[in-house]
Each structure stands twice: as C-alpha cells, then as structure tokens.
Amino acid sequence: MEGVSTTTLPDVETRPESTDTTDDDSPKMFHYVRKNKIAESAVMGTHVVALCGEVFPVTKSPKPGSPVCPECKRIFENLPPGGED
C-alpha cells in the first residue's frame, strides 16, 4: 500500500477495557488500552486512551466472549510483537 504510514505506540501492552454502557450497566464493547494505566484508572478515576482513540475511565473488566471494539482489535493485531521497546 503505497503512501500509507504506520506509527507504533511505545510501551504498548494492552488488554480490553470497557467503555459505553447499556441500560443494564453492562458495557457495549471493550477497548484495548495500555496495561500499565488500567489499575491507576480504576483506583484514581483517571482516563485511559484506547488504541482507537476513545478516552474513558476504567470501570469494568472484560469477561470471556465480551464484544471488542473492531478498530482496537484491528490496530492491536497489526502491532509488532513485544511492546517492551
């Protein structure tokens, strides 16, 4: 794909985290965020930035089979392995 560039986020370890909620307080979908920001957000109420750019405080943890943001998933799957560099 000519003319397309990719930017790699430094120190990206991710796991899905929730955003938008439904009427029964369960999240509509989960987003991938930096792993080292999850606990801080859950305790302090600070906001995290998902791979797709969504900004929100961590309020829920994903369960197996939870819906994942398609944009976050696409970005995550295209990141190089590791994330430590």
* pLDDT above 90 for 14: no
Which sequence spans correspond to the domains of the chain? 33-76
Amino acid type, 29 = M
- Global pTM? 0.60
Per residue in 24-61, pLDDT (tens digit) is: 454 578 999 988 898 889 889 899 999 999 999 988 88
Please check whether residue 56 is in contact with residue 19, taking contact to mean a CB–CB distance below 8 angstroms.
yes
- State the chain's mean pLDDT as an integer: 75
Please check whether residue 55 is in contact with residue 37, taking contact to mean a CB–CB distance below 8 angstroms.
no
Q: Which letter, b or e, does each residue of 47-79 get, where b requires 16 or more Cβ atoms within 10 Å of its Cβ?
A: ebebbbebebebebebeeeeeebeebbebbeee
42 vs 13, higher pLDDT: 42
Chain centre distance of CA 72 = 6
